[in-house]
Amino acid sequence: MKRKYIDCKEYANVITKALNPGILLTTKAGGKVNTMTIGWGSIGVNWSRPVFIAYVRQSRYTHQMIDANPFFTVNVPYGEYDKAVLGFCGTKSGRDTDKISECSLTAVESEKINVPALKEFPLTLECRVIYREDEKPELMDSEIRDKLYTPSEDGTRDIHTVYYGEIVSAYILEEE
């Protein structure tokens, strides 16, 4: 496949709009590739670098994958795509399902990082994690905390870790 390189700022709107219904975030560690649906995210500038900020709950297999190999790709639909993939990748875990093969997704080698892009979700941001932070429930608006982070029996909340990915390459995959 060939890459049509883009200025990610020019596509911030497209990416932000696509978050609802959802986009994919792909990781690779221990020789395994995994992808999950995300609906929360931001694209902008931090430390004078272009960044994509992702919010991943600690229970996700993706969380474990990014911590093992701190790189990810953001995979945004561009043109026709199968919406069912977002449902599947947003409910099944890579711990027990190979979502890439179950959804017939095609991994395409990235330009600068060791996590692949996805042919079927061709608008791609290659990201290198440059900062991460666990959300602190005590600093959160109480309405949001009580609605989205109900404590489990042992008192822990399945909080999100915020990953700041420096966008090291941005492009749309196209057929040769």
Ligand X SMILES: Cc1cc2nc3c(=O)[nH]c(=O)nc-3n(C[C@H](O)[C@H](O)[C@H](O)COP(=O)(O)O)c2cc1C
Which residue in 40, 131, 156, 174 binds ligand X (CB under 6 A)? 40
Judged by CB under 6 A, does residue 105 bind ligand X?
no
Site for ligand X (CB under 6 A): which residue of 91, 101, 114, 156?
A: 91
**Residue 29 contacts ligand X per CB under 6 A:** no
* Helices within 58-165 (DSSP H only): 61-68, 84-89, 99-102, 142-148
Does 37 engage in binding with ligand X (CB under 6 A)? yes
Contact in structure between 59 and 95 (CB atoms under 8 Å): no
Minimum distance from residue 55 beta carbon to ligand X (Å): 5
Cβ neighbours around 63 below 10 Å, total: 18
C-alpha separations of 168 from 21, 66, 87, 129, 165 in Å: 25, 16, 28, 10, 9
Among 8, 15, 33, 36, interactor with ligand X by CB under 6 A: 36
Place of tokens 């043109």: 79
Query: Based on CB atoms, which residue is closest to ligand X, 56 or 172?
Result: 56
Dist CA 164 CA 175 (whole Å): 30
Positive or negative torsion for Cα 161, 166, 172, 175: negative
Residue from the set 28, 60, 128, 145 that interacts with ligand X by CB under 6 A:
60
Instruction: Select from 93, 107, 130, 162 the one that contacts ligand X (CB under 6 A).
Output: 93
Residue nearest to ligand X (CB): 90
Residue type, 7: D
State the nearest-atom distance from the C-beta of 70 to ligand X, in Å: 15
Q: What is the DSSP letter of 60?
A: S
Q: Where along the sequence are the contacts to ligand X (CB under 6 A)?
A: 22, 34, 36-40, 55-57, 60-62, 86, 90-95
